[in-house]
Structure 1
Amino acid sequence: MQMTQDGTDTDLMRSRIIERLVGATGDPDRVSAAARSTGIRAIASVQEMLKDRFGTTVDIDLASVEIVRLAEAKPDIASLDVLAVLSAPRMPDALILQLDPMALSLLVAVFFGGDPELPSAPLNRPASGFELDIASVAFEMFALAINGHGPRALGLRIGGLQPLAGPVALKRFTVRDGPGVRIDFSIGTGEAAGRLSAWMPQRVLLEGRGGPEAATAPSEPEEWRQRFGEQVLRSGVRLVATVPLMKMPLGAIAGLQPGQVIEMGEDVRGRARLSVRDRILFECELGKLGQHYTVRVKQAFDARQHVVDGLVADHGRDK
């Protein structure tokens, strides 16, 4: 490894060696506080994603936050838990997600439209392929929520999750030991509550949430603006394509009858407009593909030019 001018690479390597030998990376109170904040933020985001996708609310709570050794994340080969490992820059196992049979059973019921308040029986066998697909969706939601966004994002590589389950996969599963933190989420209520655990190296958590990057993190109002903007961008709105047909006297319009056919103007192909909530966004071109009509976006709608064109047209009629 080449040493940079300020010795950054050498210092980083030295800190990782000391981390493996000694254990602790940072102040336990600071690590716990960062993990708890990450967990609380993740709950709201996961609940929102579940509601957007399935139209239901699942009880998710922060059960506990503990300072651990990452070697503890390896389950017994007889375990029925499902795991997923996510990497980040310079860290192949930056996040390990672990879902117990009770939580997986509840999520499967929710994904099929079941009542999340009704008790579900925990799985008493290794997860099937379909159940692993459900676990993958849940893992992706929690990973997105834990990763965050903006300058303080952890940089997790979330695409292509491959859940691990069963004796063979769990026997092959290995994890590098080191100081870590475990965030336990409870899924469901009462005796029917399951558990999803998130295991993270302390260094990944602190570099993303409490390291030098934190000095450049946005202020609280800016962070809320970013989150609000993200929620707005995910909201669904009705897109309307309007096509002007032709000019017709008011008297003729008043005489229209049900079943009457109105011809489309010759220049209608170049005059379609896309609008959302009565606000015109784009000038479009109407076309046809097979038996279906299409709308091709040509350019953004210029409200000023629209007014000018209207004034010019009115002036011509006055003359």
Structure 2
Amino acid sequence: MTALSTPLDPSSQAPRRWFDRAAPSLGARMPLFGEAMSLVAAAWTDGFGALTAAPAAFAFSGLAEARVASLPLRRGREPVFAVLDAPGWGTEIALQFDRAFVSAVVEALFGGDDGDEEGAPTGPLTAVERRIAEVIAVQATDALKAGFADVLPSSFVFERVQQKPDLAFLGRPNAAVVVATLTLRALGRTAEIDLVAARAALDGFAERLAVLPADEPENTDPRWSERLEGQVSRAPMTLSALVELDRMTLGALAALKVGQVVTLPRDAAQDVRLVCEGRDLFRCDLGQSGGHYTVRIDEPVPAALAEL
């Protein structure tokens, strides 16, 4: 990571919100990822059907963005994580589900009571449940390989199942992740499972996930493109490091005056955005060095970088 130093300056700038509600949805920014997940659901339905006579089907529910620290709260108090290696993506990914999903799979495989979820077990997974969780993960590797074969081809290797989350492989607690949700319907039950990947790991594939090959314009003069790129890369730009403030009422805002001190949020040092020409580029951490404020680049904002 690199650091940018600026002289201490008491002046402030207008805060910016981290998530722009006017920006396109994640599914709109990465349409091919969603299409691949639909193929994953179809492939998994076929593979699951070979294990059980009960009607069962997977369906792709959608994409979402989250933080690593919030993942253990997505699937109740006892989430289960299956860790997979995706060498073609250069990273590890996770499957996140809960006891209800495991129970739905158990009933689909061995028969059940038509959706009665009363008396679901709690605590650590039993030996049978852990084995079922491993079967789920291994089946997912085959479905993922088939679904992403034409978009982001990779093998997917099952590594481990863990109920106590250790998610360091996805990044720091405030790092962004992409969450793709699949829904399983079997024997009157509906259960969900998430595919979780570090968003930073997908940044290098942003163009491949956003544009169909047939839509890409042909480069008829590579020399002209190189000259244009060289001229554009030398254009002077202004960088700003912004810290987001807490919400303030209109009355309090109107009452602000010169010399008044505005308190920053507790996590302000980790909520700095590096901005260029009104576009968010990086999330940063705030610090000090040699009489200057410094911002250490933590992770990129892929949507903004793709628009530059």
Larger proportion of strand: 2
Larger proportion of helix: 1
Larger radius of gyration: 1
Q: TM-score, normalised by structure 2?
A: 0.50
